[in-house]
Structure 1
Amino acid sequence: MYFHVVFLPGAVQGQPSLQSKFRGLQGHTSNLIHSLGLSHHLIALNFIIVSFGKKSASSSPKVKVTDTDFDGVEVRVFEGSPKPNEQLLRSVVYIHGGGWALASAKISYYDELCTSMAEELNAVIVSIEYRLVPQVHFPEQIYDVIRATRYFLQPEVLEKYKVDPARVAVSGDSAGGNLAAALGQQFTYIASLKNKLKLQALIYPVLQALDFNTPSYQQNVNTPILPRHVMVKYWVDYFKGNYDFVQAMIVNNHTALDVERAAALRARLNWTSLLPPSIRKNYKPVIQTTGDARITQEIPQLLDATSSPLIADEEVLQDLPKTYILTCEHDVLRDDGIMYAKRLESAGVNVTLDHFEDGFHGCMIFTSWPTNFSVGIRTRNSYIKWLDQNL
């Protein structure tokens, strides 16, 4: 395990003020549409995001791009070219982020990322267009990515795309990292799929909904792009829960000591032992003695390892493939990734933890003008380099 650290004096390089202001405008517009009864605010917001950023599939000199479906799930396939001495290509199944509710495999950010991966890795990239909240909720998104990936892993499909069956990885960012981690764990339960994935690469993944007061949640409570209250609302939306529970969840009332099962599961993400002193700093755990049992009674998915891969049994973790986890200092999800790396390492999995001190949530897709942040370019280069060396 290692940390990729970049120290910068003064302010964080590439402070995402422009991007966060634009997202704020998008959010206000979608909330206005929702308040007028015209549409669900997430549908309205995603319409704005996709409308401004959609990129049609087109061939480039080195990458062939095709929109199709795998077992009824829409995908965008990016086909690189084999190297002169290779007959078969390696491949990455990619799952985009967006809080399980936003974005698309077809917007420019992800289209450009997957095109770069296909070109630089000489690989086939399958970007999954899974269904989103509020049309569907947990666990339908997981079913979509499992169904599309299982279809792709069929011998005849791999042969069609000239993919080496021994060189397939799964990857995703943010909520897509959550789905990639969940997919990896679900594959360990299926004998025919066990060991089918050579690697998993998780980019600032969201991995647990039990503790919203880890040091990174406390440190970055109001950090742009993904403040804590927004992440908690994404979870509630994912589970089709009640917004009335958000404030109680923010202070960990849903996993208080008197909430059945919660205390035992929280032991699996005990950050006082899973995080190094440099990350823990002087932050204190927030553990309520008395909580609100109604929350987990009405939203039992909060305590499900399928939604929170960080709390999976060690027997599941030990069967996972070689893993890359990228984390950013200025991100509420930083500690999710670091704790997962530690749990995987303890279970015997080969783990690379790539931490960027000047990184912020979402930075890896911000590599083109006007959001061409230096740290976005460096995180992308580091991620692709690891895939190139290990896949």
Structure 2
Amino acid sequence: MKPRWIGAALLAATAAYYVYLPLPAAVSEPWKLMLLDAMFRSCMHVGDMAHALGVCHRVHLINKVVSWVEVIEARSCPAVRVTDSLLGGVPARVFQPIGGKKLKRGVVYFHGGGWALASGRMRSYDLLCRKMAKDLDAVIMSVDYRLAPEAVFPEQYYDALAAARAFLSAEVLQRYGLDPERLCVSGDSAGGNLAAAVAQKLGQDASLVVRFKAQALIYPVLQALDFYTPSYQQNQNVPILYRPVMAQFWLQYLGADPALEPLLLANNHSSLDQVDLCPQIRSKLDWTALLPAERRKHFRPVVKATGSPGVVAAVPALTDVRAAPLLAEEGVLGRTPKAYVMTCEFDVLRDDGLMYARRLRDAGVEVTSEHHEDGFHGCMVFAYLPLRSDVGRRSMDNYIRWLDHNL
């Protein structure tokens, strides 16, 4: 009996060692975040092993696990009809409230996952969109755009654009009883990137009869030229989105050589000798000017005089506004709809969102910037998981409340 107790104690100690991470004291419910991160790290490690052994691509294995655990069938309930359909030729899950007003508000939503992971059919997104449909008396369309590694930029963007155009079409408006004056494009993380890029493109389209009234961006990723913003420096080791993982997602999305990761993480790709990066481009992500002092804190810019010449020329999408919406011209930003930008203190992407909110305001766009001092990346989507967090519930409630008041 004694060896069993010793074995159990050793196993428990090993598990505790694997799960425990030193986290900022102010982060919401740190033990829940540790457990959530341990699950993600386990999936990533197994995926890396499978990839190294040639079994399958790491992303495929992770998505397979996600499918087993999270993806659910379209199930209607007394309050919401749920169906799977196509939107501009792109798969989408549609959430229609039963009853209510004849003309409905509408939201087209793009899920996160580094342009490579997840699905709008995941339980967490299904429950989010179901709640949005019910609470807002709105039709929600959650889009399943193509994913890396099979699809790389600009294919995800083209899927998002096609779905958004279809969402604004007379055919879809009539079929689902949508109010053409009360439509929103939204998304989280990589989905927030797609939502911002779509809002910019359609804002410039003079042929559109119906336009989005609002854009709602949840901890969006918006640039890949500076991996030393204050939030990248402060939160590089804070789960669930680590700094190297974001660099990997970017390279995968842009169809670039993964061996470039160390160059990105050193900011060698944005060094002063990169002839493709003019001062005008650099000014659009100059966080020393765009961020308030309380976010800049004690951090200093990392700008190399010399780096790795030709990286931007080899990966031109690094400066393509369809991939990096933060780099858009002020005139383009000024034609986008009023915006909601959610950011979290303990998120490497925090400053992407804060800089974008500032640039939108400077362009004359009405912006609501919602910042969660105890939030972490992905918290809103995790509001419904067994490890649901308080900040997840608060962030979701605030997001839906903004939509209710502004759509």
Shorter-chain TM-score: what band?
over 0.9
Question: Does the aligned pair in 2 maintain the 1:77–1:126 contact within 8 Å?
Answer: yes
Alignment of 1:67 with 2:105, yes or no, is no
Which has the higher mean CA deviation after the structures are superposed, 98-107 or 34-43? 34-43
Q: Residue deviations 1:158-189, cap 9 Å, x none?
A: 11101001111000000000000000011123
1:307 is aligned, of 309, 323, 327, to: 323
Question: Does the aligned pair in 1 maintain the 2:169–2:210 contact within 8 Å?
Answer: no
Mapping for residues 104-123 of structure 1, pairs under 5 Å: 104-123=119-138
Secondary structure of 1:225's counterpart equals coil
Separation in 2, partners of 1:355, 1:177: 15
Give the corresponding residue for 1:6. none
Separation in 1, partners of 2:296, 2:26: 22
Give the corresponding residue for 1:234. 249
Give the corresponding residue for 1:273. 289
TM-score normalised by structure 2 residue count:
0.92
Q: How far off its partner does 1:110 sit? A: 0.4
Secondary structure of 1:293's counterpart equals coil
Which has the higher mean CA deviation after the structures are superposed, 11-20 or 198-207? 11-20
Separation in 1, partners of 2:167, 2:187: 17
Alignment of 1:163 with 2:178, yes or no, is yes
Which has the higher mean CA deviation after the structures are superposed, 94-103 or 366-375? 366-375
Give the corresponding residue for 2:258. 243
Alignment of 1:139 with 2:123, yes or no, is no
Q: Which amino acid aligns with 1:215?
A: P
Q: How far off its partner does 1:51 sit? A: 1.7
Mapping for residues 1-391 of structure 1, pairs under 5 Å: 10-15=25-30, 16-83=33-100, 86-193=101-208, 196-264=211-279, 265-391=281-407
Unaligned runs of 5+ in 1: 1-8
Q: Which amino acid aligns with 2:165?
A: R
Question: Does the aligned pair in 2 maintain the 1:195–1:321 contact within 8 Å?
Answer: no
Q: How far off its partner does 1:106 sit? A: 0.5
Unaligned runs of 5+ in 2: 1-23
Give the corresponding residue for 2:7. none
Q: How far off its partner does 1:82 sit? A: 4.8
Q: How far off its partner does 1:194 sit? A: 7.4
Separation in 1, partners of 2:224, 2:261: 12
Separation in 2, partners of 1:274, 1:134: 34
Which 4+ residue blocks in structure 1 deviate beyond 6 angstroms? none
Separation in 2, partners of 1:245, 1:384: 39
Give the corresponding residue for 2:12. none
CA separation of 1:194/1:100 partners in 2, compared to 1, >3 Å: closer, same or farther?
A: farther
Q: How far off its partner does 1:369 sit? A: 4.2
Separation in 2, partners of 1:194, 1:270: 36
Q: Residue deviations 1:207-261, cap 9 Å, x none?
A: 0011110000000011111010100110000011112211111121111111013
Which has the higher mean CA deviation after the structures are superposed, 288-297 or 325-334? 288-297
Secondary structure of 1:42's counterpart equals helix
Q: Residue deviations 1:44-84, cap 9 Å, x none?
A: 1111112210111011110000001123210000001353x
CA separation of 1:110/1:23 partners in 2, compared to 1, >3 Å: closer, same or farther?
A: same
Secondary structure of 1:212's counterpart equals coil
Question: Does the aligned pair in 2 maintain the 1:73–1:148 contact within 8 Å?
Answer: yes
Separation in 2, partners of 1:37, 1:387: 46
Secondary structure of 1:37's counterpart equals coil
- RMSD over aligned Cα, in angstroms? 1.3
Q: How far off its partner does 1:304 sit? A: 1.0
Q: How far off its partner does 1:290 sit? A: 0.7
Q: Which amino acid aligns with 1:239?
A: L
Which has the higher mean CA deviation after the structures are superposed, 165-174 or 10-19? 10-19
Secondary structure of 1:278's counterpart equals helix
Separation in 1, partners of 2:310, 2:339: 36
Separation in 2, partners of 1:194, 1:306: 22
Give the corresponding residue for 2:8. none
CA separation of 1:188/1:369 partners in 2, compared to 1, >3 Å: closer, same or farther?
A: closer
Question: Does the aligned pair in 2 maintain the 1:82–1:89 contact within 8 Å?
Answer: no
Separation in 2, partners of 1:19, 1:127: 24
Give the corresponding residue for 2:3. none
Secondary structure of 1:224's counterpart equals coil
Separation in 2, partners of 1:329, 1:193: 37
Q: Residue deviations 1:92-128, cap 9 Å, x none?
A: 0000000000000101010010001000000000000
Q: How far off its partner does 1:376 sit? A: 0.2
Question: Which protein has the larger Cα radius of gyration, Structure 1 or Structure 2?
Answer: 2
Secondary structure of 2:383's counterpart equals coil
Question: Does the aligned pair in 2 maintain the 1:257–1:263 contact within 8 Å?
Answer: no
TM-score normalised by structure 1 residue count:
0.95
